Amino acid sequence: MSKESVVIGLDIGSQTIKILGVLKEKNSDLYRIQFFEEIPTLGFSRGRIRDERILTKRIIELFEKVEEKYNAKIESVVTNISGSRLELFNNKASVSVGGASGKVSELDKERVFEDVKTVVLGNNKKVLKVFPREWCLDGEKDIADPFGLQGIRLELEASILTCFSSDKEILESVINNSGAFVEDIIPTPLADAIALLDDTQKELGVILINIGFGTTSVIVYEDGKVIDLAIFPVGSSHITNDIAIGLQTEIDIAEKIKVDYGLTESSNKKIEINLKTFLREDIDEEDEKKKKNDKDFLIFTEKNLKDIIAPRLKEIFDLINERLKKLGKYGKLPAGVILTGGGSKLKGLQDFAKKEFKLPCKISYPSNFIGFEKKDPSYTTVCGLVLLENEFREDGFSSKNNLIEKIKDFFSNFKP
């Protein structure tokens, strides 16, 4: 296995920590899986690190599992950051075009890009990502790429994504203490978008919703640009908790009821669950015979279950719709709603979402991986983290924008 070629994603979620290593196929958009593992999360909930020491220990255990099973040493990872303290806002900056030629260079673009990040954030915020919205040259707007154009004044309007400083610092500390280098930190909604959305959807207007275990993340695109991004501290585990309380049963039972039945019809049809066998997978004929004499049943109707699940889902979707209304995009995104994440597997969710958002809706998961049989929306984020070569350069620069190219570009400005 070539260490230089393998990209490794580490998805730290509220329920599990997932690690995925891939190798890009030559002359193809497909990626070949080198390894994948996951373990239950400890020390992390609702998108934030609660216990740095415990989480570090779990990640070390995951790394050791991969090294032992696949003989692959984990040296660097691309990881995700979540939490409700991610914030997106707009800012503008401008610079004078430098160089004797009077043409916009990559250096000019970088200068204005750096200036647009210079905002007053306070001591507890850090700039995480910058999404260019519009380039403007001498008052001429809507320029896709100003490089090489003649002009005097270059302007950039961009969306600035910030995070809570301590969240980023603690995340870096945890991974470094686990023995790996942090190659990049990607916001969870952006990783999801890298994994699932195509250029046509982004251009038309689309909203991607990841219903996770402890959080729900959202990213909205229009005209090919990010126009909103948010993470809410409520997810599918809250639905499980509601079922446990509403039906007065154990969490494990409630989780299986959620998975097996989901959003049922609003009917008085009875659902009978044998509490002694419901969680078992090895039920034989003798168990089934005993079932008739067993009085230890949980009995409820389809309407009972829907009346428990629907309000929580509506609460989540109402939070999202409030943001869409502020953007003026409620019911106005032609590419519709893309649902992903473990919570999107809830039966009946797609039809429920269509009614709430008044948009076309579908459930999606990554599909361009060779040797990955897990066709499961709960793996979207970790898949997005490894798709770096296909990442739509949010910084507005091409991949050639390295140090050597910058130096060449700089000196070319002084040529007559």
Sequence-distant contacts of 236-240: CB under 8 A, at least 24 apart: 236/211, 236/212, 236/341, 236/342, 236/343, 236/346, 237/14, 237/15, 237/213, 238/312, 239/309, 239/312, 239/313, 239/343, 239/346
For 87, how many CA atoms within 13 A lie in the half-sphere containing its CB?
A: 13
Mind listing the pLDDT tens digit for each residue in 52-69? 999 999 999 999 999 999
Mind listing the pLDDT tens digit for each residue in 85-100? 899 999 999 999 987 8
Q: Is the pLDDT of residue 396 over 80?
A: no
How much is the pLDDT for 140?
A: 93
**For residues 288-309, average pLDDT:** 80
The least confident of 9-18, 80-89, 149-158, 164-173 is 80-89
Q: Which residues pair with 369 in a beta bridge?
A: 31
Q: What gap in Å lies between CA 146 and CA 164, rounded to an integer?
A: 33
Mind listing the pLDDT tens digit for each residue in 329-338? 999 999 999 9
How much is the pLDDT for 389?
A: 54
Q: Is the pLDDT of residue 129 over 60?
A: yes
Q: Where are the beta strands (DSSP E) in 165-303?
A: 181-187, 206-211, 216-222, 225-232, 270-274, 297-301
Percent pLDDT > 90 in the chain is 73
Closest alpha carbon to 186 in 131, 232, 233, 265: 131
Q: What gap in Å lies between CA 406 and CA 416, rounded to an integer?
A: 19
Domains present along the chain, CATH in parentheses: 87-165 (3.30.1490.110)
Rounded mean pLDDT of the chain?
88
What is the full DSSP assignment across 134-174?
EEEETTEEEES--TT-B-SEEEEEEEEEEEEHHHHHHHHHH
Q: How confident is the model at residue 274 (pLDDT cuts 50, 70, 90)?
A: very high
3-state DSSP assignment of residue 341: coil
Percent pLDDT > 70 in the chain is 88
Q: How confident is the model at residue 83 (pLDDT cuts 50, 70, 90)?
A: confident
Q: Return the axis-axis angle of helices 302-327 and 236-246, rounded to nearest 10°.
A: 150
Q: What gap in Å lies between CA 398 and CA 406, rounded to an integer?
A: 12
Q: What gap in Å lies between CA 85 and CA 296, rounded to an integer?
A: 45
